Amino acid sequence: QVQLVESGGGLVQAGDSLRLSCAASERTFSRSAMGWSRQAPGKEREFLAGISPSGVATYYADSVKGRFTISRDNAKNTLYLQMNSLKPEDTAVYSCAAGPMYRLGYTISEYSRWGQGTQVTVSS
């Protein structure tokens, strides 16, 4: 079973940037799509971004398109999320998960076993 450990969250001000990391223990990491989601208190989990196994193809939700960038380093079994121009409404717990093998997944239902997450808090 894949173990995922997210890091890089914190308290920042509106307009600041953060880079989240997700370290995966699974040796099939390079063959799986990976994704990021977030969940704010009292709200449903929101799928933010996905990346294909090779890293060539990506998907972004409208809420983060143009501000967030997903990337991966298969040699390090690590997934990243660069977050720029952060807003107070970005405050949430951010988690990563593995998706389908050999292709990009575009919906949250294609990703499973979300990690514990890292808290991101954006003050106004």
Residue 97 corresponds to which tokens in the numbers above?
């998960």
How far is the C-alpha of 88 from the C-alpha of 26, rounded, in Å? Answer: 34
How far is the C-alpha of 124 from the C-alpha of 112, rounded, in Å? Answer: 33
> What are 68-94's pLDDT values in tens digits?
999 999 999 999 999 999 999 999 999
1, pLDDT greater than 80: no
Q: What percent of the chain has pLDDT over 90?
A: 93
Cα distances from 85 to residues 30, 40, 88, 99, in angstroms, run 29, 18, 10, 27
